[in-house]
């Protein structure tokens, strides 16, 4: 079904799409036509490799827009080498280990990818990226290079791991480690760049687990969703300690068989439950982001991920084809995810749908219940439904995250600044009364000057009273 048909079947999404198109204002419009050729070419590469990221990067604060674009393209180039199965390991591994050093060169490009590698142009035209990289502030260059080194060495490690190449990921610990190297490092780098620009609360440095979870939540969601696509490519990223429990002959492809669909759904629910354990950390991370454009950049992929998890949870279709959320849903989420409160509401909404769909015969029933409960607890800790203020319990409904934090800091004996004091109420009523008298007097005077006979009106009123 086309996008228009889907929107007509989901009017609430149609409403959000229309409102987004009509009223969405870009925070930091980017005049690309006046940018140098190298920037324009980098933007074309960005648009070619990731339509989902291009819009949020466009809207970023100008201080970080180019730094994050270049960081993304450098890591995309690295990933394009690692992901290409046509490149032999004796060529691939040295490049992955040394790629960060290529950023010190004046020129570098690579044309050894297979002809069907969709992002090969990023490496063929890497000189555009390299020139813009060298124009960035030195601290940003250092952070990009450092994280490129970590990711490249991690990828090389897995390329050389014979057990990984023959058996795939075995344990949950290996699964977490793999997701760290291919995704969480991206979040680490972005956080370090935001810290350098003072766009995130420095307290985040004391909680590396929050940064870690941001990348792992996205990566695990993609790994679960891409089961069929990876299976057809001859790759397995689901940890065998999980999926093997639900097979008869220790073969992950069994989940495509109709008679194994129930076991496939049980396996699916365990993997989704594992991904959900990162959700509370993601919400706490977002409370630390200080810049609105950076908040959008961080929040939008997270709400897409929770919506994707809900879509694929116990969904037999994902074992037949690669399923994705509707375009209308995506636009609706982008439109809604503008604050910490709205993101928390989105997470609760989709987590509740997952919670409602799990059946009591599912061996992961209790674990799903607990995961949902932890998300609820986290949201309650961020936005407590009630707070003690001056000896009273005050509802926080409608308050922003910043307003609630202000009340928390002032303590239970503080007056609630959201509630007007008695003197403020007196002043408010006095101002209202004076305004009423002034308006009433002005209208009465205007009516009298135009010939109104108030003596007759008063006489009629007197007769009615008598």
**What three-state secondary structure class fits 395?**
strand
Question: 388 - beta bridge partners?
Answer: 393
Euclidean distance between CA atoms 119 and 309, whole angstroms: 26
CB of 258 within 8 A of CB of 354? Answer: no
Give yes or no for a contact between 74 and 148, defined as CB atoms under 8 angstroms apart.
yes
Beta-strand relationship, 386-389 and 392-395: antiparallel
**3-state class of 269 per DSSP?**
helix
The reply to whether 76 belongs to the active site is: no
CA distances from 125 to 61, 77, 95, 408 (A): 26, 10, 17, 52
Apex 380 CA angle, 274 and 270, nearest 5: 10
Which helix (H) or strand (E) segment holds residue 166: the answer is helix 162-167
Q: Which residues pair with 392 in a beta bridge?
A: 389
- Active-site entry in 65, 76, 131, 225: 225
CB of 337 within 8 A of CB of 307?
no
User: Could you tell me which of 187, 399, 397 has the C-alpha nearest to residue 282?
Assistant: 187
d(CA 445, CA 448): 5
Distances (CA, A) of 65 to 55, 78, 443: 11, 20, 57
Q: Which two tokens stand for residue 172?
A: 């949950």
Cα separation, 419 vs 396, in Å, equals 11
SS3 state of residue 414: coil
Distance between CA atoms of residues 285 and 279, nearest Å: 10
Nearest CA to 389 among 421, 413, 425? Answer: 413
Which residue out of 72, 100, 175, 297 is catalytically annotated?
A: 297
CA 389 remoteness from chain centre:
33
- Rg over alpha carbons for the chain, rounded to the nearest Å, is 29
Q: Is residue 235 among the annotated active site residues?
A: yes
**Catalytic position from the list 99, 140, 178, 255:** 178
CA distance readout (Å), 205 to 66, 195, 211, 302: 24, 9, 9, 20
- Among candidate residues 235, 429, 440, 453, the one labeled active-site is 235
The question of whether 178 is a catalytic residue gets the answer: yes
CA distances from 224 to 19, 57, 118, 311 (A): 32, 26, 22, 11
The residues assigned a catalytic role are: 178, 225, 235, 297
């Amino acid at each position: 079904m086309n996008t228009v048909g889907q929107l007509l079947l989901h009017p609430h999404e149609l409403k959000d799409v229309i409102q987004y198109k009509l009223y969405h204002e870009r925070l930091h419009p980017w005049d690309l036509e006046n940018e140098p050729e190298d920037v324009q070419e980098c933007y074309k590469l960005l648009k070619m490799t990731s339509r989902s990221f291009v819009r949020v990067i466009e809207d970023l604060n100008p201080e970080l827009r180019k730094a994050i674009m270049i960081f993304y393209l450098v890591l995309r180039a690295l990933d394009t080498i690692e992901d290409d199965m046509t490149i032999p390991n004796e060529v691939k591994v040295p490049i992955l280990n040394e790629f960060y050093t290529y950023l010190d060169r004046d020129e570098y490009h690579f044309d050894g990818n297979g002809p069907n590698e969709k992002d090969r142009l990023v490496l063929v035209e890497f000189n555009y990226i390299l020139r813009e990289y060298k124009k960035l502030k030195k601290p940003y260059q250092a952070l990009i290079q450092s994280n490129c080194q970590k990711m490249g060495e991690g990828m090389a490690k897995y390329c050389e791991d014979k057990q990984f190449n023959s058996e795939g990921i075995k344990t949950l610990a290996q699964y977490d480690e793999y997701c760290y190297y291919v995704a969480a490092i991206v979040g680490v780098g972005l956080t370090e760049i935001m810290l350098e620009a003072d766009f995130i609360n420095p307290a985040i440095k004391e909680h590396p687990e929050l940064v870690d979870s941001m990348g792992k939540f996205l990566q695990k969601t993609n790994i679960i969703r891409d089961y069929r696509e990876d299976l057809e490519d001859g790759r397995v990223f689901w940890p065998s300690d999980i999926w093997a429990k639900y097979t008869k002959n220790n073969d992950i492809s069994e989940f495509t068989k109709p008679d194994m669909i129930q076991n496939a759904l049980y396996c699916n629910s365990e993997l989704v439950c594992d991904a959900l354990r990162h959700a509370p950390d993601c919400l706490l991370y977002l409370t630390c982001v200080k810049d609105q454009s950076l908040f959008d950049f961080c929040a939008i992929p997270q709400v897409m991920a929770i919506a994707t998890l809900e879509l694929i949870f116990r969904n037999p279709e994902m074992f037949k084809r690669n399923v994705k959320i509707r375009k209308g849903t995506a636009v609706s989420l982008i439109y809604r995810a503008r604050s910490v409160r709205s993101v928390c509401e989105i997470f609760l909404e989709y987590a509740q749908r997952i919670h409602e769909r799990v059946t009591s015969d599912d061996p992961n029933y209790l674990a799903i219940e607990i995961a949902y409960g932890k998300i609820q607890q986290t949201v309650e800790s961020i936005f407590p439904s009630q707070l003690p203020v001056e000896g009273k319990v005050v509802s926080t409904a409608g308050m922003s995250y910043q307003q609630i934090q202000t009340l928390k800091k002032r303590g239970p004996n503080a007056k609630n600044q959201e509630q007007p004091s008695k003197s403020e109420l007196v002043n408010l009523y006095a101002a209202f009364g004076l305004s009423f008298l002034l308006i009433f007097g002005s209208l009465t005077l205007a009516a009298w000057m135009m010939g109104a006979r108030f003596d007759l009106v008063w006489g009629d009123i007197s007769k009615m009273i008598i």
